């Protein structure tokens, strides 16, 4: 969209506040260390309606354990740089996945399994607080399953599965009710990137792991909402109650 790569003060303040709020809500996220206002003016069409205005520029210093994303592996696989991809993946595992042994021939499979389950957990946490990321493509999706790249995010007020905080998302791809599905899409892209490094047996097992993503998400989603409602034990009516209350809030 002919972007200039700059941020404006308005969006920088939002990112600073939201990333800190998410941290204290117990949701894995990058943190904001500082916000510096720039002397440069930036031209922005905030609502993509042709009304361009001059805004003050700013820079947020963001901190995270890692900024590697699914796209970091995807681009190397796409260009056929498998040696570099293997070196990068080994570095990521060694630095950030200590439970995986580097001499394990199945380490890439274990890595994928961990990312699948943690991604399901992250998106369930997003849903539990009504957070819509807004543009979580593979380049904005952390391999460590933390919330990064705050842009056109938003918090849902009444429950509305069609809530979209991104005013440029005309297809409503990133609506809040589709977040789990987009997570699955991204994980499938990660699997495609890993496949050149896997043997036939590992590919089959990885596909089975990905098939379990929906169950991981559903279990975690249910756990979080049962906790919010103070429900104890297991009851076959719990899921009905959760769905009923969400539907009721749609009309509040």
User: In the numeric block, which tokens belong to residue 65?
Assistant: 């354990």
Strand ranges in the chain using DSSP code E only, listed in sequence order: 7-8, 31-44, 53-63, 131-132, 154-155
Provide the pLDDT confidence category of residue 45 given band limits of 50, 70 and 90. confident
> Beta 131-132 vs 31-44: how paired, if at all?
unpaired
Look at residue 17 and tell me whether its pLDDT is greater than 90.
Answer: yes
Residue with tokens 């001059």: 54
**How far, in Å, are 10, 71, 118, 195, 209 from residue 188 at the CA level?**
34, 12, 14, 11, 11
Provide the pLDDT confidence category of residue 1 given band limits of 50, 70 and 90. low
**Residue with more model confidence, 232 or 86:** 86
What are the residue boundaries of the structural domains of the chain, listed by start? 7-63, 70-227
Look at residue 3 and tell me whether its pLDDT is greater than 80.
Answer: no
Look at residue 234 and tell me whether its pLDDT is greater than 90.
Answer: no
Evaluate whether 125 touches 183 at the Cβ level (below 8 Å).
no
Mean predicted confidence (pLDDT) in 136-151 = 96
139 is catalytic: yes
Query: What does the pLDDT read at residue 148?
Result: 97
**Residue with more model confidence, 147 or 242:** 147
Provide the pLDDT confidence category of residue 44 given band limits of 50, 70 and 90. confident
- Of 25-34, 38-47, 212-221, minimum mean pLDDT range: 38-47
Mean predicted confidence (pLDDT) in 27-50 = 90
Task: Provide φ and ψ at 199, rounded to 5°.
Answer: -85, 170
Evaluate whether 153 touches 131 at the Cβ level (below 8 Å).
yes
User: In the numeric block, which tokens belong to residue 137?
Assistant: 């493509």
pTM: 0.92
Alpha-carbon gap, residue 170 to 164, rounded angstroms: 9
- Of 14-23, 151-160, 173-182, minimum mean pLDDT range: 151-160
Per-residue pLDDT of 70-82, as tens digits, reads 999 999 999 999 9
Provide the pLDDT confidence category of residue 47 given band limits of 50, 70 and 90. confident
Residue with tokens 């997003």: 126
Evaluate whether 230 touches 242 at the Cβ level (below 8 Å).
no
Of the candidates 90, 139, 160, 169, the residue annotated as catalytic is: 139
Mean predicted confidence (pLDDT) in 217-223 = 95
Provide the pLDDT confidence category of residue 194 given band limits of 50, 70 and 90. very high
Sheet holding 7-8, edge to edge: 7-8, 53-63, 31-44
Terminal C-alpha separation, the chain:
37
Mean pLDDT (the chain) is 93
Query: What does the pLDDT read at residue 48?
Result: 75
Query: What does the pLDDT read at residue 235?
Result: 84
User: Minimal CA–CA distance to 19: which of 197, 120, 194, 150?
Assistant: 150
Mean predicted confidence (pLDDT) in 200-219 = 97
Query: What does the pLDDT read at residue 21?
Result: 97
Look at residue 252 and tell me whether its pLDDT is greater than 70.
Answer: no
CA angle 236, 116, 17 (to 5 degrees): 90
Query: What does the pLDDT read at residue 251?
Result: 54
User: In the numeric block, which tokens belong to residue 203?
Assistant: 């590919």
Residues composing the chain: 252
Query: What does the pLDDT read at residue 2?
Result: 64
């Amino acid at each position: 969209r002919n972007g200039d790569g700059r941020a404006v003060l308005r969006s920088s303040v939002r990112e600073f506040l939201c990333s800190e709020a998410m941290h204290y809500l117990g949701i894995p996220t990058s943190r904001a260390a500082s916000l510096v206002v720039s002397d440069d003016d930036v031209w922005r069409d905030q609502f993509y309606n042709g009304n361009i205005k001059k805004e003050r520029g700013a820079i947020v210093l963001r901190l995270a354990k890692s900024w590697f994303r699914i796209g970091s592996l995807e681009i190397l696989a796409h260009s056929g740089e498998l040696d570099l991809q293997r070196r990068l993946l080994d570095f990521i595992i060694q630095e950030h996945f200590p439970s995986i042994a580097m001499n394990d021939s199945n380490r890439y499979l274990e890595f994928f399994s961990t990312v699948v389950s943690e991604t399901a957990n992250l998106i369930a946490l997003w849903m539990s607080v009504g957070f819509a990321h807004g543009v979580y493509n593979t380049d904005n999706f952390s391999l460590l399953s933390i919330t990064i790249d705050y842009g056109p995010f938003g918090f849902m007020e009444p429950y509305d599965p069609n809530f979209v905080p991104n005013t440029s998302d005309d297809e409503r791809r990133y609506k809040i009710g589709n977040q789990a599905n987009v997570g699955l899409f991204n994980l499938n892209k990660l699997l495609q990137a890993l496949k050149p490094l896997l043997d036939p047996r590992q590919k089959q097992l990885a596909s089975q792991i990905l098939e379990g993503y929906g169950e991981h998400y559903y279990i975690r989603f249910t756990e979080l909402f049962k906790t919010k409602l103070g429900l104890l034990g297991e009851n076959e009516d719990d899921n009905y109650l959760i769905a009923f209350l969400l539907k009721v809030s749609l009309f509040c």
